[in-house]
Structure 1
Amino acid sequence: MAKISFTASRAHVAQGALVELERRYGRCDAVEADFIVALGGDGFMLHTLHDTQHLDTPVYGMNRGTVGFLMNAYAAEGLIERLEAAEEEVITPLAMRAITADGAKHDALAINEVSLLRAGPQVAKLRISVDGRVRMEELVADGALVSTPAGSTAYNYSAHGPIVPVGSEVLALTAMSAFRPRRWRGALLPSTAEVRFDVLQPDKRPVMAEADSRSSVRNAVTVIIRSEPRLRHRILFDPGHGLEERLIREQFV
């Protein structure tokens, strides 16, 4: 019988599901498991993927939260059969290095996106370079983000960025409420690109950098973002409900 490690968010409904599933299928440490089952919403799924990134164990999410874009429908029955029939999607994270005014370097990984947000009353001013070449001398906006295809329906989509097909090896660079250049919403870049943001007037216009809304760095002056192909996350979906299908379906809601 397959060994399953269950993990759940703090939500009451998720904790109840955890008790029921461990009663049915047993309890196993993640290091020894064949599958990891995450119970919660998308935020908890990202949390689980980050926490288990040192393992090569596939993660199957069941929705006991709100959005559930990365999750499968919840059912206590037939879990072994669902896991064995599941389709696997492999995604690679983004690596962020944020440098603050005192020269400190802060490294973090993001599965969905790395975002730069104004941290004061005035809009941010950013210089954008791609692979060492300045592409925009000054972006005046509330912020900007770089998104993976898997994360393109999350914060990126809310900021009016494009939905990027899985497997396209493309990153989305999206501006948030751009003031200058007027209505500029961003660009599509190859996944191999290294994107650098330099914060202009950081004392007057402070900026915060975030990786998946988990790792926050205040007073960032330089943020460098690139794909990290040496790491991979294996996510399982029920047949016919994989990430590619979900990305397509999202565009016709």
Structure 2
Amino acid sequence: MSEIKAALLSSDTAAAVEARKALEGITDWVPLEEAELVVALGGDGLLLQTLHAMLDRRQIVPVYGMNLGTVGFLMNEFRTEGLASRVREAKKFRLHPLRMDARTISGDHVVWPAINEVSLLRETRQTAKIEIRIDGKTRMSELTCDGVLVATPAGSTAYNLSANGPILPLSSDLLALTPISPFRPRRWRGALLPSNSEIEFHMLEAGKRPVSAVADQKEVRDVANVKVSTDEKVALTLLFDPEYALDDRIVMEQFQA
């Protein structure tokens, strides 16, 4: 891999640390800030952490992940042999993160990216009451719930799936809008929306029923209004082995008991 500057990152699990040691001698690895490519060893959590690190530094390069975690849905199989050729022959998949624009009751304003999902969650025993607007039009005047989330295709197999949301093929230009323990309307199961939609959440009775907003792992509390949209100006690139049938895995995941 000497023809390209690559950084080697790993999680701190024993398996990932041992894998890192096995790969350290195959090339001259460089620090992340100098890299043209990242090889990440771990699970989907490490992949998410790596992508956010690049967003924070505004230095976005392709990521080739190898699974040494529990699920590793977006990771390739770990093998030490032939890594350079695997990276050269890998298929590229581009994804755009979400942009969360949140304002708090006190007037604070935060803008954060999210690769998997943006979640709104009640902070106390009181259920949240949320108005939902899509592209400026009110589609639900009051959702009473524990929370609600917007998931990307890459994040649809994470928290969204646990909340009984749909799994989205990575190639789909869709977002999943999924309620979390809805009380009223009880039978509402969410919606599929075009990826270019602007989704706005307005907290009803925000002082009495406080709600936090979470962009992947970053949280802001006591929000009054949250807008979520796809950031088309930012593109992240994941690399997959040609034989890695990610679309098949997504299909099969939908038939798991």
Per the TM alignment, residue 13 of structure 1 is displaced from its structure 2 partner at its CA by: 2.0
Secondary structure of 2:26's aligned partner? helix
2:246 and 2:137 map into 1 onto residues whose CA distance is: 33
TM-score normalised by L of structure 2: 0.93
| Partner-residue secondary structure (3-state), 2:160 | helix
Matched ranges for 1:129-168 at <5 A: 129-168=133-172
The counterpart of 1:217, out of the listed 215, 220, 236, is: 220
Equivalent-residue separation in structure 2 for 1:242 and 1:169 (angstroms): 19
Alpha-carbon deviations, 1:21-67, whole Å to 9, x = none?
11222321234334201111111100101112323421011112211
Superimposed CA distance per residue, residues 2-34 of structure 1 (whole angstroms, 9 cap, x where no aligned partner): 332101112222222222211222321234334
Q: Is 1:106 aligned to residue 110 of structure 2? A: yes
Give me the whole-angstrom Cα distance separating, in 1, the residues matched to 2:7 and 2:211. Answer: 39
Question: Aligned-pair distance for 1:97?
Answer: 1.1
Looking at structure 1, the residues matched to 171 and 62 of structure 2 have their Cα atoms a distance apart, in angstroms, of: 18
How many pairs were matched up?
A: 252
Q: In structure 1, what is the Cα distance between the partners aligned to 2:97 and 2:252?
A: 23
Counterpart-to-counterpart distance in 2, 1:10 and 1:122: 38
Alignment of 1:1-253 (within 5 A): 1=2, 2-53=4-55, 54-212=58-216, 214-253=217-256
Query: Per-residue CA shift, 1:88-140, capped at 9, x if unaligned?
Result: 11000000011111110111101111000111112111000011111111001
User: What fraction of aligned residue pairs are identical, expressed as a percent?
Assistant: 49
Does the CA-based 8 Å contact 1:139-1:181 persist in structure 2? yes
> In structure 1, the residue corresponding to 2:111 is in which secondary structure?
strand
Q: Structure 2: any 5+ residue segments left out of the alignment? A: none
- Give CA deviations for 1:147-191 in whole Å, capped at 9, x if unaligned: 111111111111111111222211110001111001211111111
Amino acid at match of 1:236: L
Supply the distance in 2 between the matched residues of 1:160 and 1:28 (Cα, whole angstroms): 41
| CA distance in structure 2 between the aligned counterparts of 1:22 and 1:7, rounded to whole angstroms | 10
Q: Pairwise CA RMSD of aligned residues?
A: 1.4
Kept after mapping to 2: 8 A contact 1:89/1:242 = no
- Structure 1 regions of 5+ residues with no counterpart? none
